[in-house]
């Protein structure tokens, strides 16, 4: 079974360009993918950021869109792993998810927060903010900063336009902290939220590190 280390090189184009993590990374259980995405890089155009917060969603629990079954809205969730599932939240924000598990299973990881890495000037212009800690500190904020729109729903996260690449330098061995998902009312008790400890861009409330 593939792991983060197995796909650390990602897929590559004939010219050697890094195309991002391969489908084998995403075809694993959604909780494993959500944990292993911490430290990876989301890239779109000239902007990029390190993933510091994720949440896992699976068809077996009521907070997941796939819980209702296959519909016009959810068909991407049941499709090939490694695709982008982008939807509009409350009619305002586009939210970015990575489809996981084998085709036919409805599961995805919500990208909740990034630490800005490249293209901060463009991010600041799009967000109308200066503090780097505020640019991508939530799922709607990061899609605005990276200019991710609904038109990218179903796109390939290996080939782009949105790419999720292997862990950035210094982020290869992060041990995430976990806690309940936030901003939901169904299945809210499940500890399926994962965060990079100490990151200033993790959205609030932040999970507490385990007691020593």
CATH code at 112? 3.10.300.10
Query: Residue 176 in contact with residue 195, Cβ under 8 Å?
Result: yes
In a domain, 209, yes or no: no
In a domain, 59, yes or no: yes
Rg (CA), the chain: 16
Query: Which range marks the domain in which residue 165 is found?
Result: 5-195
Q: Would you report the helix, strand and coil content of the chain in percent, each value rounded to 5? A: 20, 30, 55
In a domain, 75, yes or no: yes
In a domain, 28, yes or no: yes
Residue 177: predicted pLDDT:
96
In a domain, 22, yes or no: yes
In a domain, 117, yes or no: yes
Residue 65: predicted pLDDT:
93
What is the mean pLDDT for each group of 10 consecutive residues in the chain (212 residues)? 46 52 97 98 98 97 93 94 93 92 97 98 97 97 97 96 95 94 94 96 80 56
Overall number of domains in the chain: 1
In a domain, 10, yes or no: yes
pTM score: 0.91
Residue 185: predicted pLDDT:
92
In a domain, 204, yes or no: no
Count CA within 13 A, CB hemisphere, residue 28. 18
Residue 3: predicted pLDDT:
45
Residue 43: predicted pLDDT:
98
DSSP H/E element including 58: strand 47-58
């Amino acid at each position: 079974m593939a792991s983060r280390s197995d796909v650390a090189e990602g897929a590559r184009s004939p010219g050697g360009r890094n195309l991002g993590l391969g489908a084998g990374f995403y075809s694993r259980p959604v909780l494993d993918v959500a944990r292993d995405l911490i430290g990876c890089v989301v890239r779109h155009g000239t902007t990029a950021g390190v993933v510091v917060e994720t949440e896992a969603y699976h068809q077996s629990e009521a907070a997941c869109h796939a819980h209702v079954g296959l519909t016009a809205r959810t068909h991407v969730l049941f499709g090939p792993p490694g695709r982008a599932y982008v939807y509009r939240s409350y009619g305002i924000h586009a939210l970015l998810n990575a489809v996981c598990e084998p085709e036919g299973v409805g599961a995805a990881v919500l990208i909740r927060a990034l630490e800005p890495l490249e293209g901060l000037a463009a991010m600041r212009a799009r967000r109308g903010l200066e503090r780097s800690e505020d640019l991508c500190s939530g799922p709607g904020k990061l899609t605005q900063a990276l200019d991710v729109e609904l038109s990218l729903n179903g796109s390939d996260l290996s080939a782009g336009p949105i790419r999720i690449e292997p862990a950035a330098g210094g982020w290869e061995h992060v041990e995430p902290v976990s806690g309940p998902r936030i901003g939901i009312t169904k299945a809210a008790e499940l500890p399926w939220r994962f965060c990079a400890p100490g990151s200033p861009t993790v959205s609030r409330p932040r999970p507490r590190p385990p007691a020593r």
